[in-house]
């Protein structure tokens, strides 16, 4: 008798390279090897601290016994603060705002409410793997469109247009992009909006790093450009140094007559999962409306560490690195015959430097990359990049 419990087929295509490399890293660490982790985008693991007024807001809520359920869409104070922040970014025609367990839950809810089995969603390649995982769970197709490395990792509008068919439901934008750090200009965003309008598609605009823009450049909210059907995804995790709070949100904007039924479907799912972390929601208004001074220091550190990353990696033969303009990631290219997975495995085993293979984010066929997180202090980054340079003296030879 077969007594095996077989898993659901929908899980076969689900991988998460960012965490998967930790399994190997943990094995290497047990051998006594010094480890240098450049794989997880968690600022709190490095020299960054949550602003005290945000911590105090949650602590005060807990002391005031605001520890039960909240309304499913979130407390009104938080939702209004999110609306006001969206207004400051030029987003109008807001139809709904809801607070979620991180932006990841907002992505899951909004895709689940939209996409049927066998339909497809256009995803940036490279891009954040949570979208692929959710679409596999829904038995839908994650369909890649390629970002142009030769053009600073910008979306290729012609490639996006060529990937649309009668089963396409949405286009995902990650701006700034994870893993490349690319920032999208107005012309590109308007081009994507035009394609979405032409084909009656929803735009998922993932803007979780919208305050971590470097070199004095400006982030443009997609929904600020046109009253198209846009879901703007955001949260406290990255900008406000609280990824463990798991507080995110979705903002649905556009024309009510086009989105009314979809919004109600999303709210059915929102109600069914009860609510996001209640005490954590009380940090939203203090974060968005309170002292923003931490962002100045945050961006200054990121700029120095970004510049060091680009300079040192581009000095290593067989590596080239496009300069990121936002977030805290870089996506260097490997000019090697071996796969990026082999490169990362051997790098971790021999040096203890932990990075993520580019194939975990998607990449143009025939190319190889890896993602680095440049959150660590300069001395750690320098040590890691020197180890990579030494590793390359023998790798593949």
Sign of the alpha-carbon dihedral angle for 227, 185, 98, 120: positive
What does the pLDDT look like over 215-226, one tens digit per residue? 999 999 999 999
Q: Is the pLDDT of residue 18 over 80?
A: no
What does the pLDDT look like over 101-143, one tens digit per residue? 999 999 999 999 999 999 999 999 999 999 999 999 999 999 9
Q: Which residues pair with 141 in a beta bridge?
A: 120
Counting residues of the chain whose pLDDT is more than 90, the rounded percentage is 90
Q: Is the pLDDT of residue 19 over 80?
A: no
- Quickly state the pLDDT bin for 16 (edges 50, 70, 90): low
What does the pLDDT look like over 191-216, one tens digit per residue? 999 999 999 999 999 999 999 999 99
- Give residue for tokens 């923003």: 292
Tell me the average pLDDT across 268-279.
97
Q: Is the pLDDT of residue 28 over 70?
A: yes
What does the pLDDT look like over 280-333, one tens digit per residue? 999 999 999 999 999 999 999 999 999 999 999 999 999 999 999 999 999 999
What does the pLDDT look like over 170-186, one tens digit per residue? 999 999 999 999 999 99
Q: Is the pLDDT of residue 234 over 90?
A: yes
Q: Is the pLDDT of residue 165 over 90?
A: yes
- 229-241 burial by CB neighbour count: b if 16+ within 10 A, else e? bbbbbbbbbbbbb
CATH of the domain spanning 52-289: 3.40.640.10
Judge residue 383's burial from the number of C-beta atoms within 10 Å of its C-beta, 0-12 exposed, 13-18 middle, 19 or more buried.
middle
Helices 293-314 & 378-392 angle (0-180, nearest 10) = 20
Q: For the domain made up of 14-49+293-392, give the CATH fold.
A: 3.90.1150
* Model pLDDT, residue 397: 67
Q: Is the pLDDT of residue 1 over 70?
A: no
The pTM for the full model equals 0.94
Question: What is the location of CATH 3.90.1150.10 in the chain?
Answer: 14-49+293-392
- Quickly state the pLDDT bin for 57 (edges 50, 70, 90): very high
Sign of the alpha-carbon dihedral angle for 367, 146, 249, 43: positive
Question: What is the location of CATH 3.40.640.10 in the chain?
Answer: 52-289
């Amino acid at each position: 008798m077969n007594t095996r419990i077989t898993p659901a087929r929908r899980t076969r295509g689900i991988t998460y390279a960012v965490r998967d490399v930790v399994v190997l890293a943990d094995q290497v660490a047990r051998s006594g090897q010094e480890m240098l982790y450049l794989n997880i985008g968690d600022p709190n693991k490095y020299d960054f601290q949550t602003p005290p007024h945000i911590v105090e807001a949650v602590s005060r809520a807990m002391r005031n016994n605001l520890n039960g359920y909240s309304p499913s869409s979130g407390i009104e104070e938080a939702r209004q603060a999110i609306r006001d922040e969206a207004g400051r970014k030029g987003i109008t025609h807001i139809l709904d705002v809801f607070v979620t367990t991180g932006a990841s839950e907002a992505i899951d809810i909004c895709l689940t409410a939209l996409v049927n089995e066998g339909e497809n969603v256009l995803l940036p390649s490279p891009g954040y793997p949570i979208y692929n995982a959710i679409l596999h769970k829904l038995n839908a197709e994650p369909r890649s469109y390629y970002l142009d490395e030769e053009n600073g990792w910008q979306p290729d509008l012609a490639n996006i247009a060529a990937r649309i068919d009668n089963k396409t439901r949405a286009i995902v934008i990650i701006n700034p992009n994870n893993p490349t750090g690319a920032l999208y200009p107005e012309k590109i965003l308007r081009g994507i909006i035009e394609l979405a309008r032409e084909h009656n598609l929803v735009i998922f605009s993932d803007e979780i790093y919208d305050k971590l823009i470097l070199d004095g450049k400006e982030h443009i909210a997609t929904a600020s450009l046109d009253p198209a059907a846009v879901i703007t995804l955001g949260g406290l995790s990255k900008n406000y140094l609280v990824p463990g709070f798991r507080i995110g949100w979705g903002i649905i904007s556009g024309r009510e007559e086009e989105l009314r039924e979809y919004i109600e479907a999303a709210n059915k799912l929102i109600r069914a999962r009860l609510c996001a972390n209640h005490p954590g929601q009380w940090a939203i208004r203090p974060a968005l409306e309170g002292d923003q001074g931490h962002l100045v220091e945050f961006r200054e550190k990121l700029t120095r560490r970004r510049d060091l990353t680009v300079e040192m990696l581009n000095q290593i033969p067989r590596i080239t690195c496009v300069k990121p303009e936002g977030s805290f990631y870089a996506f260097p290219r490997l000019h090697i015959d071996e796969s990026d997975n082999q490169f990362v495995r051997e790098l971790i085993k021999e040096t203890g430097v932990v990075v993520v293979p580019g194939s975990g984010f998607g990449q143009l066929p025939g190319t190889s990359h890896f993602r680095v997180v440049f959150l660590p202090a300069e001395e750690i980054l320098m040590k890691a990049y020197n180890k990579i340079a030494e590793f390359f003296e023998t790798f593949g030879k």
